[in-house]
Amino acid sequence: MVDVFLYGGIGIDNLVYVPFMPTPARQVVPTRDVYQIGGGGVHAALWLATWGVSVRIAGNSLGMDADGDRVMGWLAMYPCIDTSMIVRSPDRITPFIRALITPDGDRTMIAYWYFDGPWSPITPEAIDGAKVFGLNIYGGHEHMGAIEVAKAAGAQTVIADMVHVEHPTLPFVDMLVNSASVMQDALPGVDVRQQTRALNAAHGAPVIVTDGGNDVFAVDHEGVAFTVTPPRVAVTDATGAGDSFLGAVIYSRLQGWPLERTVRLAAATGALQAARDCSTSRPSPLTEVIELAETLRMSPVA
């Protein structure tokens, strides 16, 4: 039995650091080129496992190739991560993302093979008593049935990037974490805060919206809204910041913390993820993140 079940992307990130973005008329010489473990489910799992939470991860299948071996080797460095549900196939190429990263930490990404192969099936037996189920549906809408299975199995559901009020799975969501950029991409011209309030009103689940380094906007189950200002950090690479934010929300859900404390912890976690060099350092200890979170300012929103 595990505390958390995370369902999402599993693969490799190839991070190519460039002084500027190339154009047809101007080539660019990278300053650094690194490979590290990647995927939305993985980034959240690494923070949770570092904090002593037992996590089972599943999602896209991996190949029986050298990259698949590297992914499994990286995950084996975290004893709290259960990889028993990860499927590997000789007919599969292990997915990866190639990201061009500019000095401000912004990324331009190309994804390979994440949705070309089968994903692990989610059954009540797979959930196996997990207290919280986490899933990012961005780019993987065919896996939404997993939310209903998890809810029926008794898990709390913390879901990322569900932006439509009429979404059929919204009634099965206990906590919703959205990205302002994803909302604006899916609903051009949308008023993010107005849409967030509408999502909250549609089912009553708390909703949190991130916006890069800008204020995090949150609405609790009673419709009361507030913002939290993230800490200012020198961004190294924003890859995985949103997924790490989701991991911190899941941790807070396990502890039964109020929404304000949840948002503070998650904002601190996302910032620390963006500031760290993921290829050379592990996630920060929980005590360090809590200390930073307690310095963050909360402001009520009328």
Residue 114 structural domain: 4-301
Task: Give kind and range of the element (H or E) at residue 111.
Answer: strand 107-112
pLDDT at 141: 54
How far apart are the C-alpha atoms of 51 and 284, rounded to whole Å? 9
Supply the pLDDT for residue 118: 83
> Could you tell me the CATH number of the domain that includes residue 169?
3.40.1190.20
Q: Flag whether pLDDT at 144 surpasses 80.
A: no
pLDDT tier at 140, thresholds 50, 70, 90: low
C-beta separation of 219 from 287 below 8 A: no
Tell me the backbone φ, ψ of residue 7, rounded to 5 degrees: -120, 120
Both structure tokens of 95: 């997915």
Long-range CB contacts (within 8 A, 24+) of 28-33 = none
DSSP line for 47-106: HHHHTT--EEEEEB-EESSHHHHHHHHHHTT-TTEE-TT--EETT-PPPEEEEEE-TTS-
What pLDDT digit, counting tens, does each position of 6-39 carry? Answer: 999 999 999 999 999 999 999 999 999 999 999 8
Burial of 188 (0-12, 13-18, 19+ CB in 10 A): exposed
Q: What share of the chain is helix, strand, coil (3-state, %, to 5)?
A: 30, 25, 40
At residue 295, the 3 state secondary structure works out as coil
Q: How do residues 208-265 score in pLDDT, each as one tens digit?
A: 999 989 999 999 999 999 999 999 998 887 788 999 999 999 999 999 999 999 999 9
* Average pLDDT, integer, range 98-106: 89
pTM, entire model: 0.94
- Is residue 71 predicted with pLDDT exceeding 80? yes
pLDDT digits (tens, 9 = 90+) for 117-135: 788 888 998 898 899 999 9
Q: And the tokens for 272?
A: 């620390």
Query: How many structural domains compose the chain?
Result: 1
Looking at the DSSP assignment, which residues form a beta bridge with residue 62? 88
What is the chain's Cα-based Rg?
18
The total of other beta-carbon atoms located within 10 Å of residue 282's CB is 13
| CA nearest to 206, candidates 184, 178, 179 | 178
Return d(Cα 43, Cα 34) in angstroms, integer: 16
Per-residue pLDDT, 178: 97
